[in-house]
Structure 1
Amino acid sequence: MADSIRKHIELKAPIQRVWRALTNHEEFGAWFRVKLEGPFVPGQEARGRITHPGYEHVVWRATIVAMEEPRLFSFTWHPYAVDPDKDYSGETPTLVEFRLEPRDTGTLLTITESGFDTLPDHRRVEALRMNEGGWTAQAYNIRAHVDGPADE
Structure 2
Amino acid sequence: MVSMTENPASVVDENSFTVRRSIRINAPVEKVWQAITQPEYISRWFGRTVLDGVGVGAAGTMTFSDYGSIPLRVEEWDEPRRVAYRWNNDDALGSLPEQVQEKGSTVFTFTLDEVDGGTQLDVIETGFENTSAPLENLESHRTGWNEELDKLVALVERDTTKGDA
What TM-score do you get using the length of structure 2 for normalisation? 0.77
- Unaligned segments of structure 1, at least 5 residues: none
- Cα distance, 1:67–1:37 mapped onto 2, change above 3 Å: closer
> Which residue of the partner structure matches residue 140 of structure 2?
130
Report the Cα offset of residue 66 of structure 1. Answer: 1.6
Give distance in 2, aligned partners of 1:17 and 1:82: 34
Q: Give the partner amino acid of 2:134.
A: R
For 1:83 and 1:116, locate their aligned partners in 2 and report how far apart those are by CA, in whole Å: 13
2:70/2:88 contact within 8 Å kept:
no
Q: Does 1:68 align with 2:82?
A: no
Indicate conservation of the 8 Å contact 2:51/2:59, yes or no.
no
> Which residue, 42, 53, 60 being the options, matches 1:46?
60
Q: Does 1:106 align with 2:115?
A: no
- How far apart, CA to CA, are the structure 2 residues paired with 1:83 and 1:26? 30
In the alignment, which of 13, 18, 29 is matched to residue 43 of structure 2?
29
After superposing the two structures, state which structure 1 stretch, 29-38 or 59-68, moved more: 29-38
Aligned partner of 1:27: which letter? Y
Deviation at 1:87, TM superposition (A): 3.8
Letter in 1 for 2:69: V
Contact persistence 1:6–1:113 (CA under 8 A): yes
Give the total of aligned pairs.
145
**How far did 1:129 drift?**
1.2
After superposition, the CA RMSD in angstroms is: 2.3
Answer yes or no: is 1:86 the counterpart of 2:95. yes
Identity of aligned residues (%): 22
Report if the CA contact (8 A) 1:34-1:60 is conserved: no
Asked if structure 1 preserves the Cα contact closer than 8 Å seen for 2:53 and 2:59, the reply is: no
